[in-house]
């Protein structure tokens, strides 16, 4: 009789822990480098600041990260949900809203649906906790991924009065 042992999928999505901070900082840095071509001078201090910021929020439960990991336990993609405070407004019972950030897939693993799986995992995480929506800011490469999953443009405006 044939056995029905199921094969493990080649790449799995799992929740990250603070032990993954090195790779989460790496993903964040590469994301910004790809999006804005930031210089090493700008990226280096941002790494340290993000590590501190992310560690505190992961420990308090306000930041939840997900990573895609190969069978060899190499992390090849990731993304995170930051549960941020929002202002009171009519019809909004909750004062917090999940915000998706730090989406990054290593170049050799792009176009395989990993970012899509991570966004779906993040959405499922947020829905399971009763949040009615999720927001993000999309890069040119990310926009299609988010739109396919139902994200739509909103009315946010920005006035730049300094370079940064
Ligand atoms: C945006 C990003 C996270 C998408 O990651 P990904 O794992 O390639 O995403 P997916 O495979 O789920 O979807 C990629 C889409 O890009 C296209 N694509 C197909 N092959 C591709 C390839 N070899 N490389 C890149 N994109 C490809 C397809 O349109 C695909 O959608 P579809 O296959 O469902 O039609 C990744 O390109 C990245 O890290 N970019 C740099 C950082 C960045 O912009 N992050 C987003 C910040 S908002």
Taking only the tens place, the pLDDT of each residue in 59-73 is 999 999 999 999 999
The ligand 1 atom nearest the CA atom of 104: 39
Return the best residue to mutate from 30, 65, 101, 105 for the ligand 1 pocket (most ligand atoms within 8 A of CB): 105
Ligand 1, pocket-test mutation among 11, 110, 122, 137, most atoms within 8 A of CB: 110
Domains of the chain, first to last: 11-148 (3.40.630.30)
Q: What is the pLDDT of residue 92?
A: 82
pLDDT-derived band at 164 (thresholds 50, 70, 90) equals low
User: Is residue 5's pLDDT more than 70?
Assistant: no
Residue nearest to atom 19 of ligand 1 (CA): 111
Neighbours of 119 (CB within 10 A): 24
Q: What is the DSSP string of 77-119?
A: EEEEEEEEE----TT---SEEEEEEEEEE-GGGTTSSHHHHHH
pTM comes to 0.93
How far does the centroid of ligand 1 lie from the alpha carbon of residue 17, in Å?
A: 24
Cα 118 to averaged position of ligand 1 atoms, centre (Å): 12
How far is it, in rounded angstroms, from Cα 126 to Cα 130? 7
For residue 115, with 0-12 CB atoms within 10 Å meaning exposed, 13-18 middle and 19 or more buried, which class applies?
Answer: buried
Helix (H, G, I), strand (E, B) or coil at 138: coil
Mean pLDDT of the region 79-91? 95
């Amino acid at each position: 009789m044939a056995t029905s042992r199921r094969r493990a999928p080649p790449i799995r999505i799992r929740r990250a822990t603070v032990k993954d901070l090195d790779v989460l900082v790496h993903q964040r840095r590469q994301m910004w480098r790809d999006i804005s071509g930031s210089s090493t001078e700008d990226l280096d201090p941002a790494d340290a600041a993000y590590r501190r910021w992310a560690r505190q929020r992961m420990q308090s439960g306000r930041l939840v990260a997900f990573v895609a990991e190969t069978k060899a336990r190499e992390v090849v993609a990731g993304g995170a949900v930051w549960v941020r405070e929002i202002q009171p407004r009519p019809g909004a019972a909750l004062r917090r809203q999940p915000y998706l950030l730090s989406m990054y897939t290593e170049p050799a693993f792009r176009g395989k649906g990993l970012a899509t799986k991570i966004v779906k995992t993040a959405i499922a995480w947020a829905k399971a906790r009763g949040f009615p929506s999720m927001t993000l800011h999309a890069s040119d490469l990310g926009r299609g991924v988010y739109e396919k999953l139902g994200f739509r443009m909103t009315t946010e405006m920005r006035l730049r009065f300094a370079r940064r």
